[in-house]
Amino acid sequence: MLGRPLAVAWQKKTTAGLLFQVRGRGTEAFSSLEEGATLEVRGPQGRGFPVPAGERLLLAAGAMGLAPLLFAWERYGASRPGELLLGVSCSRWTGLVEWLHRRGVPCTVACDDGSIGRKGTVVDLLERLIRKEDEVWACGPQAMMVAVADLAPARFFVSLEARMACGYGGCLGCVVPTRSGRLRACVDGPVFDGREVLWNDLLH
Amino acid sequence: MTFSTDLAVTVGSVAMETPLIVASGLWPFDGPFWCEEALGGIGAVSSKGLTLHPRPGNGGVRVWETPSGLLNSIGLQNPGVEAFAGEIIPGLPRRRPLIANVAVERLDDLERSLDLLQAMNLPPEVVELNVSCPNVDGGGMAWGLDASGVRQVLDVARPVWRGPLWLKLTPQAPRLDEITAAAESGGADALVVANTWLGMAIDVDRRSPVFDRTFAGLSGPAVFPLSLRLLWETASLTALPLIGCGGVSSGRDVLAMIMAGASAVEVGTALVREFHAPLRFCREISAYLEERGLRSVASLSGCAREGRKERR
Ligand SMILES: Cc1cc2nc3c(=O)[nH]c(=O)nc-3n(C[C@H](O)[C@H](O)[C@H](O)COP(=O)(O)OP(=O)(O)OC[C@H]3O[C@@H](n4cnc5c(N)ncnc54)[C@H](O)[C@@H]3O)c2cc1C
Ligand SMILES: Cc1cc2nc3c(=O)[nH]c(=O)nc-3n(C[C@H](O)[C@H](O)[C@H](O)COP(=O)(O)O)c2cc1C
Ligand code: FES
């Protein structure tokens, strides 16, 4: 019935790369596509990250939240001071981390159980690193985003996930509570100014 | 927008170039959607459900996919009639008849809402009274569940709103015969059959209902046979013009609704799957007519009823 929202994780000439985790029926179907299969794609939709302006650009990814931040890293991060941080839960994510290394993307990894990179969370990594003038972009599970918001970065942008139906701004199924009212993640986001998002309402 | 056959229809005094109306709750107020490019195949547009005062809508999960269907619990998030009438609509091109979907919360609010719409320089071509929203407390669907609710709403609305007044029914109403009688005597000009079907979902991972309000409205192909049956029954009960709504997802579905007695058809969830669905439906209908040498889609209205032994 419905499409599935996915970030563009990388782009090379006319090829767009996706990076996704199998969660249910839709992503399962994507994962079993044969080479040469045709997909119906609508997009790119919505608003992306702004041009970075902070002293350093720190990108904080929780697991699959990596997808849009990898794109951001390759677009902006690689050419300016900053770091890409990735938090995962356990050694099941080794494949993704190795893939990043093969791709030549420098990335600091934290793992809840310590089996890859440092033991701890991506928020721990960020907390140790962050300075007053830094700009932070984050994407990941809600609890992680709230913890990043608590660090109160000077410039702070988040890419949020919401269940979507129409993807064109019509159904109001994907709204995010912000200081300017409930905004649609599909067309007004998915990137929002982290200081505008009402995090407590989001967690309801 | 030209097709090789005649797709024009009328619902009472409202003329449309095609039989397809965008169902309420699916069309954004953003400018590009009101330009010709986006409106291909569309005969008229129904607005998001409006209330006198702005509403933030429901919290929690709002949409959930089901087999061939969509459950929603949006909760009438809308900017309020004042902003709609004063800023939003005047700022948009008017390329199709505009249907203002007005939700009923309280009767005095309804009266004020209709006053504001009536006072617009270019009022909507139609008001569609939504007495069938399952996703709000205090009013909403409650008004549409029985004849006395319907009569109360029409008794307030009819004297205020001078244009065509459509009533959007809820499938949850147990006595269709009483509802249609109340709609006729209350002065409704047409009936929309119907809004969403009450359903629910449980997230077994979280072991709790998906929606904060537990129940939600089901739409999409899953409900098409149900809506078609309801339309058929309604057509047996009243001579008012009817608009079919629920699960339409092809030109043949549109034709089926029209053959069952609809003058026009609303399309909602199909847009979510395929934004240009109305254009495809029109092409399919046009090809159907052409292959059979039929002159117009309007001539098919109610044709499936001919020869059936039934009331009316
Ligand atoms: C703007 C945006 C960008 C995204 N980018 C990516 C990406 O690049 N890579 C990636 O792996 N995932 C991404 N997601 C999440 C992805 O859309 C969901 O994992 C996917 O829709 C699940 O579909 P499914 O049919 O496999 O699962 P379903 O059977 O529908 O659900 C399985 C699980 O996924 C969760 N889920 C369902 N829909 C969403 C959703 N829209 N957002 C978050 N969780 C959801 C459900 O709560 C459930 O636990 C993104 C989401 C958004 C909103
Ligand atoms: C996301 C969504 C929002 C809706 N909002 C409204 C609304 O505001 N007012 C209303 O009368 N109906 C609303 N509806 C119901 C539709 O207008 C339509 O009656 C119903 O979805 C059945 O048609 P469909 O199967 O073609 O979608 C909504 C439906 C959906 C899916
Ligand atoms: S998914 Fe419909 S408004 Fe965003």
Domain ranges in chain B? 9-305
Alpha carbons B310 and A166: distance in angstroms, whole number: 40
Alpha-carbon span B289 to B156, nearest angstrom: 42
Instruction: Kindly state the helix (H) or strand (E) to which residue A99 belongs, with its residue range.
Output: helix A94-103
The model's pLDDT over A117-163, given as tens digits with 9 standing for 90+, comes to 899 999 999 999 999 889 999 999 999 999 999 988 889 999 999 99
> How confident is chain B (312 residues) per 10-residue block, as mean pLDDT?
84 97 97 95 98 95 96 96 97 97 94 98 97 80 91 97 97 95 97 97 96 97 98 97 98 98 98 95 96 94 86 48
CB atoms within 10 A of CB B31: 11
Q: Can you give the pLDDT at residue B147?
A: 95
Quick check: B297 and B258 in contact, CB under 8 A? yes
Give the pLDDT score at B142: 86
What are the φ and ψ backbone dihedral angles of A38, each rounded to 5 degrees?
-100, 140
Cα A64 to middle of ligand 1, angstroms: 10
pLDDT of residue A58: 95
> What's the CATH number of domain B9-305, 3.20.20.70, 3.40.1190.10, 3.40.50.150, 3.40.449.10?
3.20.20.70
- Whether A202 and A185 have beta carbons less than 8 Å apart is answered as no
User: Is residue A64 lining ligand 1, measured as CB closer than 6 Å?
Assistant: yes
User: Ligand 3 centroid vs B64 CA: distance in angstroms?
Assistant: 12
Mean pLDDT across A65-94: 92
Q: What is the pLDDT of residue B36?
A: 95
Residues near B11 by beta carbon (within 8 Å), at least 6 away in sequence: B164, B166, B190, B241, B243, B263, B264
Integer-rounded Cα Rg, in Å, for chain A is 17
C-beta of residue A91 within 8 angstroms of C-beta of residue A114: no
Tally of helices (H runs) and strands (E runs) in chain B = 8, 16
* Beta-carbon contacts below 8 Å between A and B: 72
pLDDT of residue B309: 67
Q: What is the pLDDT of residue B310?
A: 60
Residue B116, both tokens: 């504001």
Question: What pLDDT, on a 0 to 100 scale, did the predictor assign at position B312?
Answer: 47
Domains in chain A with CATH codes = 51-159 (3.40.50.80), 164-204 (2.10.240.10)
* pTM listed for this prediction: 0.94
Cα of A62 vs its chain's centroid, Å: 7
B141 phi and psi, to 5 degrees?
Answer: -60, -25
B103 close to B50: Cβ distance less than 8 angstroms: yes
Rounded to the nearest angstrom, the minimum Cα separation between B56 and chain A is 7
Distance in angstroms between the alpha carbons of the first and the last residue of chain B: 36
Across the interface, whether the CB atoms of B272 and A181 are under 8 A apart is answered: no
Q: What is the chain B residue with the closest CA to A182? A: B56
Strands A155-159 and A175-178, sheet pairing: unpaired
Please answer whether residues A140 and A62 qualify as being in contact, where contact means their C-beta atoms are separated by less than 8 angstroms: yes
Residue A178: pLDDT above 60?
A: yes
Residue A54's pLDDT is what?
Answer: 82
Look at chain B and count its residues: 312
Rg (CA), chain B: 18
